[in-house]
Structure 1
Amino acid sequence: MRYPLTPGHEWSGTVERVGAGVPDSLAGRKVVGEGFRNCQVCDRCHAGETTLCSAGYEETGFTRPGAMAATLTLPARLLHVLPDDADLSAAALLEPAACIAAAALKANAVPGERVAVVGTGTLGMFAAQFLRAGSPAELLVVGTRGDREALSRGTGPPISVPRTSRSRTTSTW
């Protein structure tokens, strides 16, 4: 992070105006944006590992002003246009959902395996949903938030959500 910092890396909004070289048709559109500002030319970027860009770490809301600033300026290539009727509050969750989806794909779980998710916060719930889609034999969600048990169950393979305290415990799973 670079201080002073204006946070806001999970956001959605409406384009007010565009800069040189950007189609005017983007103005007025609802969008979400990628946070990492990669170089697009290093070996890592070419391999699709843009979050590991060799040019260094630049991210909206961490090293650059985020969405809590009066205005947010970023390269048009990082924007993803949403449908006109998109709910911008819900769309703000697309960035963390995309991060978790990428992590779930990298986990390379195969159908029939036993899979565990540690944490019942927003990211843990996203992980449970994405991993459930991979048809695990069992999906274990571990966390301290009992209110998330019903949410994590949904439909799909057997799932268990042990309610643990923050103290250290031993499991036989």
Structure 2
Amino acid sequence: MPDPVEGSVFRTVMRRVPSPVVVITAKGEDDARGITIGSFTSVALDPPLVSFNVGTQSRMYDVMETCSRFAVHVLSEEQVHLAKRFAVPGLTAREQFEGVPHSHDEYGTPILEGVTARMHCTRHDSMPAGDHVLYVGLVVDVDDRPDRGAVLYYHSGYRGVGSELPSTELSPVNRVSSDSS
């Protein structure tokens, strides 16, 4: 097996891949926390599954290892400040939510206000992935708000979704013979 590329080289290339930005919140054994995630994706429709990664050195890792439920908050374009807040690694749980409009659901999960969408999930599965753990959640409820855009992470910065790009039509491929491929 060949040696992998250096982490810094990989990071440079991955900065060119836009990532959705969400905030995951959960209640662990001791306290409730949140974390900004750039690895969020849908996994399946039947059943509805989502996934994301959390670093094993993160304070959120301990929360995710003990929680049974969590919430995924799709931030609006006006909520970049929340993406930045929940990305600060050294904040205590209390400091994370200080001044942030939120409530708690019946399971103690912090619920951020003003987001463009929210998914309530139960923990479906997890697996180690290098220095991270991949978590898979079963979506059990959604709060779909009026669409106020979304936040992406691209080239080391937060960006809005922007406008839809036009598609250029390609001319059809003309094959002379079925033997040409």
TM-score calculated relative to the size of structure 2: 0.23
| More relative contact order, 1 or 2 (CA 8 Å, 6+ apart) | 2
Q: Which has the higher strand share?
A: 2
Q: Which has the higher helix share?
A: 1
